Amino acid sequence: MDNDSKLSVSRRRYVGSVTAGLTGISLAGCTGTENQATGTESTGEGSSDGTAGGKADTFVVGSSSKPSTLDIHKATRRPEETVLSALHEPLFRLNENKEPVPHLAADYSVNEDATEFLFQIEQGVTFHNGDELTAEEVVYNWERFVENSPSSYLLSPAKAFEATGEYEVTVTFDAPYPLLPRYLTDPLTGFVSKRAVEEAGESYGQEIAVGTGPYQWKNWEHGTAIVLSKFEEYGWGPEFAANQGPGNPEKFRFEIHPEATTLLNELTSGGVHGSSYITLSDTKEVEQADSTNLIRKQYTRPGYLAINVEKKPTDNVHVRRAITHAVRKQPVIEAALGGEGYPIWSIVPPVAVNALGEEKAKELGQTVSQEKAREELDAAGWTNSKQGEVRTKNGEELKLTFYAFTIPRYKKMGKVVAPLLGEVGIKAELEILEAGTLYKNLQSGNHNITTMAYGGNWAVNALEPILKGENTATEGGTNYSLWQNDEFDSLLEKAKTSPDQATREQAILDAQKVVLEEVPVTPICAFNKVYGHKKSVSGIDSWTEHPWWPDQEWLNRLELDV
């Protein structure tokens, strides 16, 4: 059933219809602890007693990578979203039925061809600085999001955002846009205080960030930790959650532990209470430790190689096909992920909504075959005299600039993939780069291939950011393949804009087929999502009632009890 474009949905009417069915169900967050933390300044080295140097009211979240910015409209990466999920909120939330439902909207309506949406903003919602969320604030935010965010494609098709009342916003489109409510569940569409942005200027997102979420900015110990404190006035959490606010812990402390071993030790015997950043190859140690538990879910986030189609020699489709034929999936899953994943043949994993079925993807995609890889390279003119020897053409070696993140799973992916390419005569020169350096190089198009993971629970959401032509990295987007294909873009638009659901679904299937033919990416595997936590943590069972719980970190921030 298509629930993205109901003619009229009231938040309060929705709540009334589901409350009875949710009686006794606690959508609690993932963490709470009996080892309570102390709130002194951190040395950045963690602790061995489960206190992390903080007060008993501080919950410590472990991360493996430091955020670049906490300006939600400029953020692109998961480390930012981990923190921002407590600071900011979008207009809609995703309920347990995978439906977008009003959150900061009291009600909304849409015309029959989905070209005009009317939103009534929930009254009484305030920012951390006391300013109220009004229609003018909403319009300011959406315009700022479109201007600044790498995810601006979610709202950029809008013709206009207008404040048509103090708490009423009208959004118009030239063409149907039935998926708008779904897109408005994206956490990066959350709201910032206009006054806070203007007062902070260039320091916004580095020295301050002001939203409407259950926690507010306290301080950022750059390179070490970010600390948020409870927003006592918060009381507008979704009514399908057990706690509407305020949050329970007095503080959240998001600690940065770049080394996988350090993060593991901090979780199992130190001050970290919970983390979704545990290296997948370390999951057994978390499960076997006396102090911790681990939960997992087969998920929609794909691990893949983004192949730069603009740079030689990967501008040649035969070379791209050869790369895809050469990469054996199971060695990557075992060595890089510790078995915590499953193979995929399309960039959209089969568990995502509107994905190609696994068998169809296998049929249309590039099978794993060194023989076929060699045939494709021969067809491109790259030859060698014996297997394993680096191939050449016109005296030039077949070399690829290969980048990978320092985040352990991506680094290990690179270390496994490089020698697999070498077996068919491709010299992959692997460089492990810190995130800032990596993204600068990707935006400059210096790479041939890079390890990447960037997906979505719906096929259209998975494909648009990583492959749509207007989202290329050189233009500030997340299409690191730099691929531009008019047929694909047209199908993607149809999948987003047709008022007819069947037409949308067929278009997104056809778009996936174009990707399999042109090979701008090498699908490898989809990750299991895991969360490690102290055994004293409460609320795990109720949190995981949500079918897409790994992405619902905002529930943790609201429901967690220390």
CA distances from 244 to 115, 241, 462, 535 (A): 33, 7, 31, 25
pTM of the complete model: 0.70
Cβ within 8 Å of residue 146, ≥6 positions away:
152, 155, 156, 158
Taking 80 as the threshold, does the pLDDT of residue 61 lie above it? yes
Q: What is the pLDDT of residues 319-372, one digit of tens each?
A: 999 999 999 999 999 988 889 899 999 999 998 989 998 899 989 988 999 999
Q: What is the pLDDT of residues 415-452, one digit of tens each?
A: 999 999 999 999 999 999 999 999 999 999 999 999 99
Reference 466, options 181, 180, 151, 69; nearest CA is 151
Reference 480, options 441, 444, 442; nearest CA is 442
Cβ within 8 Å of residue 374, ≥6 positions away:
322, 387, 424, 425
The conformational region for residue 25 under phi > 0 = left, psi -120 to 50 = alpha, else beta, is beta
Strand, coil or helix: 142? helix
Q: Report the chain's terminal Cα–Cα distance, integer Å.
A: 39
**What is the percentage of the chain residues whose pLDDT exceeds 90?**
72
The larger pLDDT score, comparing residue 304 to residue 77, is at 304
DSSP 529: E
pLDDT value for 408: 83
d(CA 253, CA 272): 9
The larger pLDDT score, comparing residue 124 to residue 500, is at 124
DSSP 21: H
Q: Which domains does the chain have, with CATH numbers?
A: 8-291+535-559 (3.40.190.10), 298-528 (3.10.105.10)
Taking 80 as the threshold, does the pLDDT of residue 276 lie above it? yes
Burial (Cβ within 10 Å: 0-12, 13-18, ≥19) of residue 351: middle
